[in-house]
C-alpha cells in the first residue's frame, strides 16, 4: 500500500519531463525569434571574374553587373592585388571599388597579406579605403595568412573603428582567421565560398555546387554566398549561363523563405545575450531524470514509487546544478556533455523496452519524447552567440558516441538482458561468432568517432544518397539514424518477439544506441535553425522506420527461409 512518503514514479517522471520541455522551450524563445527574423541572404560575385564574361558578351563591366543584379546578385567581392596577380599592380583594386559604387552594390573587401615591415602601411591603406568607400560592407583577409598574423588586434581595431563587420568564412584554414573572428565578435557574418581549385580537385559539378549553397544557407544559417563562374576545365560559363545559375539559386533560396537582401551581423544589436536560468534548469533536470532512471533500472526498481526524501533531494540538486551552470561556463560545458550521454542512454533503453512491452508503439513514443525533450534541453543550454556562430562547438560529441553503448552493455549484463552476466561472459572462452561480431562493432564505432569530426570521409555512394535525400526532403536525416539506428531497433524488437539470436541481440541493441547518439548530436548543431533540426528528426523517424520495416521483412521472408534451406541441405 502506497504511503504519503512515496510519490508514484510515472507521475514524477512525467511531471519532470514536462518541466524540462517547458523550461527548454522558454529558454529557446530568443533563438526562435532570431531565426525567424534572420532571413536575409546575399549572393556575392568576384569583380575580376565578371570581366571575362562581360568581354565575351560584348558588354561594359557596369552593364554586366546590372545584368547579374537583376538575376539576384546582391554584392561584389573586391580583392587587393598581390605580387602573384601580375601584371596588375600591388595594392587596392580601385577599379573594382568604383564599379561597386557605380552599381550601388555592397562590397565584400579582401585585405591582402603583407610582410611585417609593411603592416603599418597596409593598415593605413585599408583605413583610407574604408573611409573613402562606405560601400565596403564586410571585410576578410585573403591569402594563406591573415594580415598582421600572429597579432590580429590592429586589424580588428581598425574594422571596429569604422563599424565594418568581418566575414566569418566557413571551413577556413587561413592562419589567424579564428583569432580575427574572436576579436571581431559579435560583428560577424557567416560566409560560404568554394574556390576554383576545390571545384576542380573534388570534381564538384554545377548542380552539386548549387545544392551546397542552398544547404549552407538553409541548414547552417550562412548569410553570404560567394558564387564563382565555372572554372577552366569545368563547364564553360558565359554571362548568360552564369546569370541563369544565379537566378536558380535566388529562386531556391526564396522557396525556403530567404530574401536576397544584404545581411547584418545578427548579434551586433544583442551584446548582452546569454542563456536563461530556465535553460540551465532544463538541462539539469534532463540529466538528473536520465541518471535516476538508469540507476533505478540497474537496481530493478524503475517502476516503483519514489520516496519523498529522494524527490526533495532531486529538486535541490536540480536547482544547485542549474545555478552553477548558469554562472560557470566550464560547469555548463561538462553538464551539457554528460547530460547528452545519459539522455541517449535512457532514451535508447526505453525504446528497446518496446520489445517486451504490451504497448510497443506507446513505449517507442515515450522514448522519442524523452529524446526530443532532452535534445531541446541541451540545445537551450548552449543557444548563445559564441555557439551559434561556431566560435565554440559542443565538446561532448565523442562522449555521446562512447559512453551510452558502455552504459547499455553494463545494464544488459547486470539485468541479464544478455543471457550472461559480465562475470560469466569474462570467465568462459569466447565464441567465434561473438568475436567477429565484436570486431565488426569496434570497426563501426571507430568509423563513427572518426566521421563525427571529419565530413570529408564519405564514400561516393553515400554522398549520392545524401544529395538525393536533400533534394527531396531538404532536411536530410542523418545516415546513422536511418541506416543503422532505427533498422537495428526494429530488428531487435522482431528478434525478441520471434525468440531469435538470443546470444547476439546485443549487437542490435548497440546499433540502436548509435542511432540515438546521432539524434542528440543534431540538437547540438547550434548554428542550425531549430525548425530544421525538428524537421530532420521527423524525416529520420519515418524514413528509418520504413527502412527498419523493410529490414524486418527481408529477414523474415528472405534470410530466415534461406537459412533453413541451407541448414537442411547441410544436415
**Domain map of the chain by residue range?**
6-32+271-569, 40-255
Q: Most confidently modeled of 71-80, 398-407, 504-513?
A: 71-80
pLDDT of the residue at 416? 85
Taking the alpha carbons at both ends of the chain, their separation in whole angstroms is 58
Task: Give yes or no for residue 130 having a pLDDT over 50.
Answer: yes
Would you state the cell numbers that stand for residue 29, as one nine-digit string?
524563445
Q: How confident is the model at residue 83 (pLDDT cuts 50, 70, 90)?
A: low
Query: The domain at 40-255 falls in which architecture?
Result: Alpha-Beta Barrel (3.20)
Task: Give yes or no for residue 111 having a pLDDT over 60.
Answer: yes
Task: List the helix and strand counts (H, then E) for the chain.
Answer: 25, 9
| Collapsed DSSP state (helix, strand, coil) of residue 528 | coil
pLDDT of the residue at 454? 45
Q: How confident is the model at residue 430 (pLDDT cuts 50, 70, 90)?
A: low
| Phi-psi map region of 176: left, alpha, beta (phi>0 left; psi -120 to 50 alpha) | left
The torsion defined by the Cα of 328, 333, 338 and 342, in degrees rounded to 10, comes to 100
Instruction: Please tell me the pTM assigned to this model.
Output: 0.87
6 exposure class (CB count in 10 Å sphere: 0-12, 13-18, 19+): middle
Residue 530 in contact with residue 35, Cβ under 8 Å? yes
| Chain-centre distance for alpha carbon 262 | 24
380 exposure class (CB count in 10 Å sphere: 0-12, 13-18, 19+): buried
pLDDT of the residue at 104? 92
pLDDT of the residue at 1? 44
Task: Give yes or no for residue 235 having a pLDDT over 90.
Answer: no
| Chain-centre distance for alpha carbon 239 | 35
Q: How confident is the model at residue 505 (pLDDT cuts 50, 70, 90)?
A: confident
pLDDT of the residue at 333? 94
Degrees to nearest 5, angle at CA 151 with 146 and 153: 95
pLDDT of the residue at 570? 47
pLDDT of the residue at 424? 67
SS3 percent helix, strand, coil of the chain, rounded to 5, is 65, 10, 25
Task: Give yes or no for residue 447 having a pLDDT over 80.
Answer: no
Q: How confident is the model at residue 195 (pLDDT cuts 50, 70, 90)?
A: confident
pLDDT above 70 covers a percentage of the chain that reads: 88
Q: What is the mean pLDDT of residues 486-494?
A: 94
pLDDT of the residue at 568? 56
Residue 341 in contact with residue 374, Cβ under 8 Å? no
Q: How confident is the model at residue 442 (pLDDT cuts 50, 70, 90)?
A: low
Q: Which of 5-9, 63-67, 215-219, 371-375 has the weakest average pLDDT?
A: 5-9
Q: What is the mean pLDDT of residues 274-303?
A: 93
Q: What is the mean pLDDT of residues 128-134?
A: 95
Task: Give yes or no for residue 433 having a pLDDT over 80.
Answer: no
Amino acid at each position: 500500500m502506497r504511503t504519503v512518503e512515496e510519490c508514484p514514479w510515472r507521475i514524477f517522471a512525467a511531471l519532470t519531463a514536462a518541466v524540462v520541455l517547458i523550461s527548454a522551450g522558454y529558454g529557446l524563445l530568443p533563438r526562435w525569434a532570431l531565426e525567424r527574423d534572420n532571413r536575409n541572404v546575399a549572393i556575392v560575385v568576384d569583380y575580376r571574374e565578371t570581366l571575362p564574361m562581360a568581354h565575351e558578351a560584348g558588354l561594359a563591366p557596369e552593364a554586366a553587373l546590372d545584368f547579374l543584379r537583376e538575376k539576384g546578385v546582391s554584392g561584389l567581392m573586391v580583392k587587393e592585388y598581390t605580387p602573384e596577380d601580375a601584371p596588375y599592380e600591388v595594392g587596392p583594386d580601385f577599379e573594382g571599388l568604383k564599379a561597386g559604387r557605380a552599381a550601388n552594390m555592397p562590397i565584400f573587401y579582401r585585405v591582402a597579406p603583407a610582410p611585417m615591415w609593411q603592416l603599418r602601411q597596409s593598415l593605413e591603406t585599408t583605413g583610407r579605403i574604408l573611409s573613402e568607400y562606405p560601400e565596403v560592407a564586410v571585410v576578410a583577409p585573403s591569402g594563406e595568412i591573415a594580415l598582421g598574423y600572429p597579432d590580429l588586434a590592429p586589424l580588428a581595431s581598425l574594422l571596429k573603428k569604422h563599424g565594418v563587420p568581418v566575414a566569418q568564412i566557413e571551413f577556413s584554414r587561413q592562419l589567424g582567421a579564428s583569432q580575427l573572428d574572436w576579436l571581431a565578435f559579435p560583428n560577424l557574418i557567416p560566409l560560404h565560398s568554394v574556390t576554383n581549385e576545390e571545384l576542380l580537385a573534388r570534381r564538384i559539378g554545377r548542380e552539386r555546387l548549387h545544392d551546397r549553397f542552398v544547404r549552407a544557407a538553409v541548414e547552417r544559417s550562412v548569410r553570404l554566398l560567394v558564387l564563382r563562374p565555372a572554372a577552366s576545365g569545368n563547364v564553360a560559363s558565359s554571362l548568360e549561363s552564369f546569370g541563369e545559375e544565379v537566378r536558380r539559386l535566388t529562386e531556391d533560396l526564396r522557396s525556403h523563405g530567404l530574401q536576397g537582401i544584404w545581411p547584418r551581423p545578427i548579434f551586433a544589436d544583442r551584446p548582452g545575450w546569454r542563456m536563461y536560468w530556465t535553460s540551465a534548469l532544463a538541462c539539469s533536470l534532463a540529466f538528473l531524470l536520465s541518471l535516476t532512471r538508469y540507476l533505478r533500472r540497474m537496481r530493478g526498481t524503475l517502476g516503483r514509487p519514489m520516496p519523498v526524501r529522494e524527490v526533495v533531494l532531486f529538486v535541490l540538486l536540480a536547482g544547485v546544478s542549474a545555478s552553477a551552470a548558469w554562472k560557470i561556463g566550464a560547469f555548463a560545458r561538462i553538464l551539457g556533455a554528460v547530460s547528452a550521454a545519459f539522455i541517449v542512454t535512457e532514451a535508447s533503453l526505453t525504446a528497446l523496452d518496446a520489445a517486451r512491452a504490451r504497448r510497443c508503439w506507446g513505449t517507442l513514443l515515450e522514448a522519442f519524447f524523452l529524446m526530443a525533450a532532452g535534445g531541446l534541453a541541451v540545445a537551450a543550454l548552449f543557444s548563445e552567440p559564441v555557439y551559434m556562430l561556431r566560435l565554440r562547438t559542443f565538446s561532448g560529441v565523442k562522449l555521446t558516441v562512447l559512453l551510452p553503448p558502455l552504459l547499455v552493455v553494463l545494464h544488459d549484463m547486470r539485468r541479464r538482458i544478455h543471457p550472461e552476466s559480465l562475470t560469466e561472459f569474462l570467465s568462459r572462452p569466447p565464441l567465434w561468432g561473438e568475436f567477429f561480431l565484436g570486431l565488426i562493432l569496434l570497426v563501426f564505432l571507430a568509423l563513427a568517432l572518426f566521421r563525427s569530426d571529419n565530413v570529408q570521409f564519405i564514400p561516393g555512394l553515400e554522398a549520392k544518397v545524401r544529395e538525393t535525400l536533400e533534394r527531396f526532403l531538404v532536411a536530410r536525416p542523418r545516415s546513422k539514424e536511418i541506416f543503422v539506428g532505427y533498422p537495428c531497433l526494429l530488428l531487435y524488437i522482431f528478434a525478441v518477439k520471434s525468440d531469435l539470436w538470443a546470444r547476439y541481440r546485443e549487437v542490435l541493441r548497440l546499433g540502436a544506441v548509435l542511432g540515438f547518439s546521432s539524434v542528440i548530436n543534431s540538437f547540438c548543431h547550434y548554428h542550425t535553425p531549430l525548425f530544421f533540426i525538428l524537421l530532420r528528426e521527423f524525416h529520420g523517424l519515418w524514413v528509418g522506420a520504413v527502412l527498419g520495416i523493410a529490414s524486418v521483412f527481408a529477414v523474415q521472408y528472405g534470410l530466415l527461409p534461406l537459412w533453413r534451406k541451407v541448414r537442411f541441405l547441410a544436415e
